[in-house]
């Protein structure tokens, strides 16, 4: 058994909660690995020390006091208290949804041409038109403006 695998089972091993075959395998590893044996010893010593912790008891009569409160009938199922933290989180989520929706909406709309776009387009038209023979349409222009001489090239 490798150290990594043994370490994963060390806690259960020292708590005697491992099945026998695994426990035997970990025990064999500890016999051969001083580092893991030291880690196991640390766990055991920590348990020993924590057993010296206090075990305070409540003042006598706690059961009677609890039962008296129950008998008095002032027991109600507690309702969830208003939480500012929850309210702020919810408001944040709603705000993000609204902003996201607006951004998505405006991105889905075709962009209106700006003044600069129109000016550039007009310049392009003028320069191309002057280079063409008189009456020639721009490539891709609406066929309704096509001169009669090109009628036969019109798409069926």
Distance CA 16, CA 113 (A): 78
Q: Is the C-alpha dihedral spanning 82, 86, 92, 93 positive or negative?
A: negative
Residue 1 within binding range of another protein, rule CB under 8 A:
no
Residue 3 within binding range of another protein, rule CB under 8 A:
no
Q: How many residues bind another protein (CB under 8 A)?
A: 42
Residue 79 within binding range of another protein, rule CB under 8 A:
no
Quote the tokens at residue 32: 């051969």
The DSSP call for residue 83 is: -
Nearer CB in complex with another protein: 5/69: 69
Instruction: Give the range of 14-22, 86-94, 112-120, 123-131 binding another protein by CB under 8 A.
Output: 14-22
Distance CA 28, CA 13 (A): 12
Binding residues (CB under 8 A) for another protein: these are 10-14, 16-17, 23, 27, 39-59, 62-63, 65-67, 69-71, 75-78
């Amino acid at each position: 058994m490798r150290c990594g695998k043994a370490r994963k089972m060390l806690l259960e091993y020292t708590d005697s909660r491992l099945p026998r075959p695994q426990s035997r395998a970990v025990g064999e590893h500890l016999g051969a690995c001083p580092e893991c044996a030291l880690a196991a010893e640390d766990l055991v010593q920590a348990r020993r020390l924590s057993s010296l912790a206090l075990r305070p008891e409540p003042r006598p009569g706690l059961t009677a006091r609890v039962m008296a409160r129950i008998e008095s009938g002032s027991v109600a199922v507690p309702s969830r208290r208003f939480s500012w933290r929850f309210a702020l989180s919810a408001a944040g989520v709603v705000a993000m949804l609204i902003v996201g929706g607006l951004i998505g909406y405006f991105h889905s709309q075709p962009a209106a041409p700006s003044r600069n776009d129109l000016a550039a387009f007009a310049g392009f038209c003028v320069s191309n038109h002057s280079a063409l023979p008189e009456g020639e349409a721009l490539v891709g222009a609406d066929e309704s403006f096509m001169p009669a001489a090109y009628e036969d090239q019109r798409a069926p």
